[in-house]
């Protein structure tokens, strides 16, 4: 067992699956010789060769189209888009083809591809390198959307995503690529998709988050504990499909819920969670659901970046409001 960063865990997971399954291939811009813009694929072309770790031209539409074709023919491509801000040109391929291939062929063909992309703010990058637009993909039938929040979950969820017979959008929060190290066993054991992970148990309030914001959420839970408030922390991990059973069970216990995400507030994944809580768990709530999110603006440049992103103080303030409303 080795202490690794989230970035290292992604590399470890790719290496593990490529060693175990010759049908797994990687493609993307600069992923081979240079090891990717963040070095997530460093050393893999040297290990597995240029036919399995493919440096593509600077064309996201080509990357997506190649990946879908490979998947339809039985390979298991893992395609990288350098930043989420460059992902929008592939909507046609992903929405009209990847997500619909199983339905269109009545199950004769599937699309076992993974689309990796670093996303989110916090690294002082321009606005088109800092977006959190996971809700766009979560709206599309036929897609899974997975977001790890730690090295161990990055490793285990990536293995599961590569083994899934249908397309998975695997979004990596780059702010925490190298933030912490965690002991990860390179044992080839995948974590389950489509389930939430309860990271801390509590009895007073449920804190629901995913990706990089899990770190602020856990810190808020620690500070709340000092004040005698017991917070349950849930990492959604797979935002499509949502594991509402875990969230509903937690809210039935605590009676309060605060949802935290970095993306803009309007029509975000937090809104869907709140809507399903209203539909299925209204009688469990002692107060309205609170949301702590980014704002409905473009991510600002780095001087205002931290003002845009949810903070520990904003999370604690939201918890205080919902408890006072009881």
Identify whether 129 is a catalytic site residue: yes
Alpha carbons 75 and 112: distance in angstroms, whole number: 8
Handedness of CA 251, 243, 309, 289 (dihedral sign): negative
In a domain, residue 192? The reply is no
Verify that 131 and 206 share a domain, yes or no.
Answer: no
Does residue 176 surpass a pLDDT of 90?
Answer: yes
Average pLDDT of 258-274? 97
163: tokens are: 């083994």
The arithmetic mean of pLDDT across residues 71-75, rounded, is 97
Domain-embedded: residue 33: yes
Domain that holds residue 236: 197-324
Catalytic residue among 97, 128, 129, 261: 129
How many angstroms separate the CA atoms of 172 and 134, rounded? 11
The number of CA neighbours under 13 Å toward the Cβ of 316 is 16
**Domain edge (last residue) among 184, 211, 227:** 184
165 and 219 belong to one structural domain? no
Considering the domain boundaries, does residue 224 fall inside one? yes
Query: Is the confidence at residue 127, as pLDDT, over 80?
Result: no
Which CATH number fits the domain that encloses residue 61? 3.40.50.970
Residue 140 has pLDDT above 90, yes or no: yes
Residue 230: per-residue pLDDT = 98
Is 201 found in the same domain as 175? Answer: no
Count up the domains in the chain and report the number. Answer: 2
33 has pLDDT over 90? yes
**Residue 133 shares a structural domain with residue 210:** no
Question: Do residues 140 and 213 share a domain?
Answer: no
Question: Mean of the pLDDT values across residues 5-24?
Answer: 98
171/206 same-domain check: no
Same domain, 170 and 32: yes
Is the predicted pLDDT of residue 144 greater than 90, yes or no? yes
Local confidence band at 126 (pLDDT 50, 70, 90 cut-offs): confident
Q: Is 189 a domain residue? A: no
Regarding whether 153 and 244 lie in a shared domain, the answer is no
Q: Where are the alpha helices (DSSP H) in the chain?
A: 6-20, 44-48, 60-72, 91-96, 101-104, 134-138, 151-163, 213-226, 244-254, 269-280, 302-308, 312-324
pLDDT classification of 326: cutoffs 50, 70, 90? confident
DSSP single-letter state for residue 113: -
d(CA 150, CA 134): 18
Q: Is 191 part of a structural domain of the chain?
A: no
Are 155 and 261 in a shared domain? no
Question: Among the three residues 153, 184, 215, which one is the final residue of a domain in this structure?
Answer: 184
Mean pLDDT of 293-306: 90
Give the CATH number of the domain where residue 270 resides. 3.40.50.920
In a domain, 175, yes or no: yes
């Amino acid at each position: 067992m080795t202490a690794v960063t989230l970035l290292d865990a992604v590399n470890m997971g790719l290496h593990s699956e490529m060693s175990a399954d010759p049908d797994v291939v990687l493609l993307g811009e600069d992923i081979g010789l240079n090891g990717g813009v963040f070095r997530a694929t460093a050393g893999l072309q040297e290990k597995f060769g240029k036919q399995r770790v493919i440096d593509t031209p600077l064309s996201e539409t080509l990357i997506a189209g190649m990946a879908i074709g490979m998947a339809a023919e039985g390979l298991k491509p893992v395609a990288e888009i350098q930043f989420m801000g460059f992902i929008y040109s592939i909507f046609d391929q992903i929405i009209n083809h990847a997500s619909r291939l199983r339905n269109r062929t009545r199950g004769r063909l599937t699309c076992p591809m993974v689309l990796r992309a670093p996303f989110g703010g916090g690294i002082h990058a321009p606005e088109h390198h800092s977006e959190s637009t996971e809700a766009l993909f979560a709206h599309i039938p036929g897609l899974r959307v997975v977001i790890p929040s730690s090295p161990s979950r990055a490793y285990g969820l990536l293995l599961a995503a590569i083994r899934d017979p249908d397309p998975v959008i695997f979004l990596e929060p780059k702010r925490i690529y190298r933030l912490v190290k965690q002991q990860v066993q390179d044992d080839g054991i995948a974590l389950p998709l489509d389930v939430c992970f309860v990271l801390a148990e509590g009895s007073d309030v449920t804190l629901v988050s995913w990706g990089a914001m899990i770190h602020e959420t856990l810190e808020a839970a620690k500070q709340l504990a000092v004040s005698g408030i017991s917070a349950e922390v849930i990492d959604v991990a797979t935002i499509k499909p949502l594991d509402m059973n875990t969230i509903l069970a937690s809210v039935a216990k605590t009676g309060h819920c605060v949802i935290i995400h970095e993306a803009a507030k309007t029509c975000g994944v937090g809104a869907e969670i709140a809507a399903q809580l209203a539909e299925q768990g209204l009688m469990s709530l002692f107060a309205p659901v609170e949301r702590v999110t980014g704002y409905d603006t473009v991510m600002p440049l780095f001087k205002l970046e931290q003002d845009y992103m949810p903070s520990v103080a904003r999370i604690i303030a939201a918890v205080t409001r919902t408890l006072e409303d009881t």
